């Protein structure tokens, strides 16, 4: 029987999978690192499945060599790969299993902004019947920044489903434009005529605060920014100023530098801006995606236990 500690939030998202997985004994465990490390040691566990929390030390000492830290999702910036390698621990993620969920969410958030759905819903619940004029998406231009699987799915939905003109932008030019009407490696060129800009790049040392005051100034003053990628790629203080001062039209954010959200500066609270819509990192939170993530994380652990390291999704 393979014993696995699954952090509480992730366990709850797919508890039926973790409870019934053949050959596994899955425990619901605390997410904070000190508590998780203690749980692992006490229960003699070699494998853990974790969410977006940052793990910076004790967990790597608690797990034995050839253990696994399996990310319930794709982004793995919360795992210190250097520490893991030094401790002989494998780190894995679940690529491809949440592409549909995040892409659909990005388009849903885009539509929410275009038609003022969030603010109108809030108004109505407060007995304020106020009709607001929005915009149709057909014929509008969407810039997709980051053209991996999710970015390309967003492009297909926007182009084929809503009739939008879609510009793709990434650091590498693809062999063909695929689902994009045009492609450019030049961020300025990609966003200059965009009505909406959707972010789909990973958070790395090179992309941290990629969307800063300089790049925000390249957007039209009516453009809306959508971020379902990673909070760290966006300078939230710069965004606050850009929206507040009318430099861009607004923003829809599902990810943040600090989660739960906490303003980076006390005088730049994004929650106070009507033109900023904020959701609690729910892009991949669908029943279907959670089931796929749970199965993929367990598959990685099983492969490790069987010594089939070459088949694992190692990051």
Q: How many CB atoms lie within 10 A of CB 45?
A: 21
Q: For the chain, where are the E strands, in sequence order?
A: 2-7, 24-29, 47-50, 68-71, 90-92, 141-145, 165-169, 182-184, 196-199, 224-227, 250-253, 276-278
Residue with token string 């910076």:
56
Using alpha carbons, select from 292, 290, 314 the residue that is nearest to residue 301.
314
Vertex 260 angle, CA 254 and 262, to 5°: 100
240 is catalytic: no
CA dist., res. 32 & res. 35, Å (int):
6
Q: Which residues, listed in sequence order, are joined to residue 144 by a DSSP beta bridge?
A: 168, 198
Catalytic pick among 132, 136, 259, 306? 259
Kindly report the backbone phi and psi dihedral angles of residue 93, in degrees, each rounded to the nearest multiple of 5, phi listed first. -135, -170
Q: Is 8 a catalytic residue?
A: no
Helices (H), ranges, 223-264: 236-244
What radius of gyration, in Å, describes the C-alpha atoms of the chain? 21
Is position 259 annotated as part of the catalytic site?
yes
Question: Among 71, 76, 200, 230, which one carries the catalytic annotation?
Answer: 230
User: What spatial distance separates the first Cα and last Cα of the chain, rounded to whole Å?
Assistant: 25
Q: Yes or no: say if 274 and 260 are a contact pair by the CB < 8 Å rule.
A: no
Which residues belong to the active site?
230, 259, 281
């Amino acid at each position: 029987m393979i014993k696995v500690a699954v952090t509480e939030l992730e366990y709850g998202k797919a508890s039926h999978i973790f409870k019934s997985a053949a050959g596994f004994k899955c425990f619901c465990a605390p997410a904070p690192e000190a508590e998780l490390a203690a749980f692992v040691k006490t229960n003699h566990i070699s494998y853990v499945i974790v969410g977006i929390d940052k793990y910076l030390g004790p967990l790597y000492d608690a797990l034995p060599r050839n253990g696994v830290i399996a990310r319930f999702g794709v982004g793995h910036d919360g795992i210190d790969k250097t520490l893991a390698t030094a401790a002989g621990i494998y780190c894995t993620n679940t690529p491809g299993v949440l592409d549909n969920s995040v892409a659909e969410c990005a388009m849903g958030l885009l539509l929410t902004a275009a038609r003022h759905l969030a603010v109108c819903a809030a108004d109505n619940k407060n007995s304020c019947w106020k009709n607001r004029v929005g915009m149709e998406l057909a014929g509008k231009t969407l810039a997709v920044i980051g053209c991996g699987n999710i970015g390309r799915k967003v492009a297909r939905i926007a182009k084929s489903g809503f009739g939008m003109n879609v510009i793709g932008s990434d650091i590498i030019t693809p062999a063909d434009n695929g689902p994009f009407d045009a492609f450019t490696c030049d961020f300025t060129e990609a966003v200059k005529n965009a009505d909406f800009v959707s972010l789909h790049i990973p958070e790395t040392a090179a992309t941290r605060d990629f969307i800063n005051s300089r790049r925000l100034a390249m957007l039209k003053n009516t453009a809306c920014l959508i971020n379902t990628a990673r909070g760290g790629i966006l300078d939230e203080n710069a965004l606050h100023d850009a929206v507040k001062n009318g430099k861009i039209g607004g923003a829809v954010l599902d990810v943040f530098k600090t989660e739960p959200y906490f303003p980076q500066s006390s005088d730049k609270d994004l929650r106070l801006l009507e033109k900023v819509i904020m959701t609690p990192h729910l892009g991949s939170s669908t029943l279907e995606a959670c089931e796929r993530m749970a199965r993929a994380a367990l598959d990685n652990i099983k492969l490790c236990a069987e010594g089939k390291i070459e088949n694992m999704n190692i990051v």
